[in-house]
Structure 1
Amino acid sequence: MKTLWDKTNIGNMELKNRFFRGALWEDLADEKGHMTPELSYIYEELAKGGVGTIITGYSFVTRDEQPNPGMMGIYDDSFIDEYKKNTDKIHSLGANIIMQIVYGGFMTTFNVGERTIGGPSTMQNEVTGTWAKEITKDEIKYLVNAYAQAALRIKKSGFNGVEIHGGHGYLLSQFLSPYYNKRRDEYGGNIENRGRIIFEIYEAIREKVGKDFPILIKLNSADYVKEGGLTQEDSLYVAKKLADLGISAIEVTGGNRHLDVMEDILKNTKIQYFTLSRPLTAEPDLINKWCSGDKKKVKCVSCNQCYSTPGKRCIFSFS
């Protein structure tokens, strides 16, 4: 019988349990995206806390496209040595670490007057108020290559895998959504076309990193926002297509899960792993507590106030 504490493998990555720390923007990198001691400490704290695999906060893949301040970067080779020191430390503490990569598009308000914001179509984001300019097919090729080069740097930096951020309104999820994607070329229209940029990015990354290096993707199950947005059926099509292409794992974003619920899901569905972000922000050692048999209610109440604190820390840690 499967348990949450099983040792498993994804590609060449060995996992000591089925818990992942889901990606969370910590806002602690320096202005160019490089590591800081404060950011390193957070990952070390998580590794000591028992989680099997850490997914970093999202990292930008091109120098001129940073959707938020304090993000990690992976846009050139200057990052490799410093990340290698960090991944070596995390491994010595018994955890895996995966880097998440992203291109923001118009899901941003950061430095929008100083750079060109690209999107699948020319339109304004109703949440941020930011305008995007429709990117050309040549720019799509440039972006596909940027993702692939970033993934190769991630492998050289000692990370255990790479996760493509395809959710939360960022560029790749914009391409998937017919509400935002009004293109009339091979990157717009039906879901095969709207997903084409993601399929091309996956294949370009796989060519760079080899067949055994884990490639994950984070996807919305649906938009849940606008009529005419991404549907569950279309999201499932993208997931199945990526599975056929050989992707290592798919993280479906959304939902609040408790330990008993996760155990039930593991036993009764094909879901194999579980990501937690805010609960591990409140209690970095939560997995160790669960492993020791301590199943009392978690501290996190899903208030989202951590989003406004330095380092995205639980507000109760400041009291």
Structure 2
Amino acid sequence: MKTLFDPITIAGMKLKNRFFRSATYDGFSDDKGHPTARLYKTYEDLAKGGVGTIITGLTSVSDAEQLESGQMSFRDDSFSAEYRTMTDAVHNHGAAIILQLAFLGSQCYSPAGDKTIWGPSAVKDVAFEKTPREMSREEIARMQEDFAMGALRAKQAGFDGVQLHMAHGYLLSRFLTPYYNRRSDEYGGSIENRGRALFETYCAVREKVGPAYPVLIKINSEDFIEQGMTFDECRFVCRRLVELGIDAIEVSGGYASSPPSAGPCRKEEGYFGSSAEHLAQELPVPVIAVGGNRDFDAMTEFIQHTGVTAASLSRPLIREPNLVERWQGGDRRRALCISCNRCFKLNGTACVFSAEA
């Protein structure tokens, strides 16, 4: 019988349990994106607290766009030694750490400054009220190369893998969404075309890091907006990425502009679990379920009765970094959780869109 504390292997990564800390925008880097003492402590505390695998907050891979306040960056080799300090600290406590790579696109709070906001089409963002410039083919290729170089630097700095952020309305996600992707070229129209930028990005990353390095994705099950990507389209994208060689899929959903009843502010337990279960039945790669995972017994039952490989948590681990250790020690009370507002503040730091970014 499967348990949440089983050691598992994903794409060669030996993980001490089935608990993932999903990517969380912490805002603890300096104004250039370099790690700070507070950021180091955040990740070391999570590793000490018993979680098997940590996925970092969304990390910038390119100087083509402006950083958000406190956002992590790995735009060039000058960050490498600092991130090696982070990965070594996490590994010393027996946890794995995966770097989440992202382009923000028009989903950003900070002014663009002298940078250009990129998007698949020049459609104003409903929530952030920023209008991007439609990307040229050359800019799409630049984005893909920046992702690939970010992944290579992550590998060299000791990260156990990378996760490509294809969810929640960030730039790769926008290509999948008909409302924001109105292109008439090979990157727009059908879901095969709307997925092309993602497929090419994955291939560029894989070429840089080699066949054995773990590359994961985070993807919306649905966008939950008018003219958004549907679950059937998500399934198509996932199947294609599996054919190309993706190693694991974390299933989430929603945009900042999604209605609270459909998006990340739902109150029920495991609100993307059904989508994760369906994908796990169809796909021959590990599927990780995120969203509303707070009850130990409910997560245990879900893992035991579905093909889903692991459970991913965020807000509970902000409140209790040692939550997994507490559960393993026999105290199985439901996880404590910070308030579920779209934009909340923790210790004076504003978190963007969702703790489960």
TM-score higher than 0.5 here? Answer: yes
CA contact (8 A) 1:281 1:312 kept: no
Structure 2 counterparts to residues 26-41 of structure 1, below 5 A: 26-41=26-41
Question: Contact (CA 8 Å) 1:67, 1:107: kept in 2 or not?
Answer: no
* Matched-pair contact (CA < 8 Å) for 1:67–1:105: no
Q: Is the contact made by 1:29 and 1:70 (CA closer than 8 Å) also made in structure 2?
A: yes
Deviation at 1:250, TM superposition (A): 0.4
- Letter paired with 2:246: I
In 2, Cα distance between equivalents of 1:201 and 1:236:
18
* Partners of 2:140 and 2:21 in 1: CA distance: 30
* Separation (CA, whole Å) in 2 of partners of 1:306 and 1:49: 26
Tell me the residue number matched to 1:6: 6
Q: Which moves more between the two structures, 251-260 or 90-99?
A: 251-260
Question: Structure 2-normalised TM-score?
Answer: 0.84
Matched, 1:95 2:132: no
- Give, in angstroms, the shift of residue 304 of structure 1: 3.5
Q: Is the 1:67–1:103 Cα contact (8 Å) retained in structure 2?
A: no
Seen in structure 2, the aligned counterparts of structure 1 residues 229 and 303 have a Cα distance that, compared at 3 Å, is closer
Match of 2:329 in 1: 292
Number of aligned residues: 312
Per the TM alignment, residue 267 of structure 1 is displaced from its structure 2 partner at its CA by 1.6
1:267 aligned to which of 272, 293, 304 = 304
Q: Does 1:252 align with 2:288?
A: no
Deviation of residue 7 (structure 1)? 1.0
Show CA shifts across 1:32-66 (max 9, x none).
10010011000010000000011111101101313
| Residues 319, 338 of structure 2: 8 Å contact kept | no
Asked if structure 2 preserves the Cα contact closer than 8 Å seen for 1:23 and 1:55, the reply is: yes
User: How far did 1:146 drift?
Assistant: 0.6
1:104-123 mapped onto 2 (5 Å cutoff): 104-123=104-123
Alignment of structure 1 residues 78-227 onto 2, 5 Å: 78-226=78-226
Q: Matched residues in 2 for 1:117 and 1:291: separation?
A: 45
Partner of 1:303: 340
- Corresponding letter in the other structure for 2:52: G
Shift in Å, 1:305: 8.1
Contact 2:296 2:334 in 1 (8 A): no
Distance 2:82 2:220 in 1: 32
For 1:229-248, what aligned pairs fall within 5 Å after superposition? 229-248=228-247
Alignment CA distance shift 1:302-1:221 (3 Å)? farther
1:116-135 deviations in Å (ceiling 9; x for gaps): 10100012111111011100
Aligned amino acid, residue 221 of structure 2: S
Judge conservation of contact 1:109–1:130 (CA < 8 Å) in 2: no
Asked whether the equivalents of residues 60 and 66 of structure 1 are also in contact (C-alpha less than 8 Å), the reply is: no
Q: Deviations over 1:190-210 (max 9, x none)?
A: 111101111111111111111
Q: Distance in 1 between matches of 2:340 and 2:12?
A: 37
| Residues 301/63 of structure 1: CA separation in 2 closer, same or farther (3 Å cut) | closer
Q: Tell whether the 8 Å contact from 2:33 to 2:67 is kept in structure 1 after alignment.
A: no
Q: 1:67: how far off?
A: 4.9
Corresponding residue of 1:60: 60
Q: Is the 8 A contact 1:144 1:200 kept in 2?
A: yes
Identify unmatched segments of 5+ residues in structure 1: 314-319
Which residue is equivalent to 2:25?
25
